[in-house]
Amino acid sequence: MPDPTRIVLTDDGPALVRGPVEVELPDGTRLRSDRAVTAVCLCRRSKRYPICDTAHRRKVRRTEDGG
């Protein structure tokens, strides 16, 4: 029996998927990645969504007065 696909959920970032993966978007579009590990965006800030571009690292901090 082959090893199962492993998905690692990170605290503040993407889901890391081992091995080749095909991601299907809500509109039916499919994206295939043949990388050893693919980072799948969970925050939807990525300009390459559904692939993570580390946009989650650029969080905008708000002050108490909203600015």
| 7-31 per-position pLDDT tens digit | 999 888 899 999 899 999 999 999 9
Residue 52: inside a domain, yes or no? yes
Is pLDDT of 67 > 70? no
Lowest mean pLDDT among 41-45, 48-52, 61-65: 61-65
In a domain, 35, yes or no: yes
Report if residue 37 sits inside a domain: yes
pTM value?
0.73
Of 46 and 58, the structure prediction assigns the larger pLDDT to 46
Looking up tokens 């978007």 gives: 25
Domain limits for position 49: 7-57
What is the percentage of the chain residues whose pLDDT exceeds 70? 87
Q: Is 21 helix (H, G, I), strand (E, B) or coil?
A: strand
In a domain, 51, yes or no: yes
Q: For residue 60, what are its two tokens?
A: 């905008």
Count how many domains the chain has.
1
Asked if the structure places residue 33 within a domain, the reply is yes
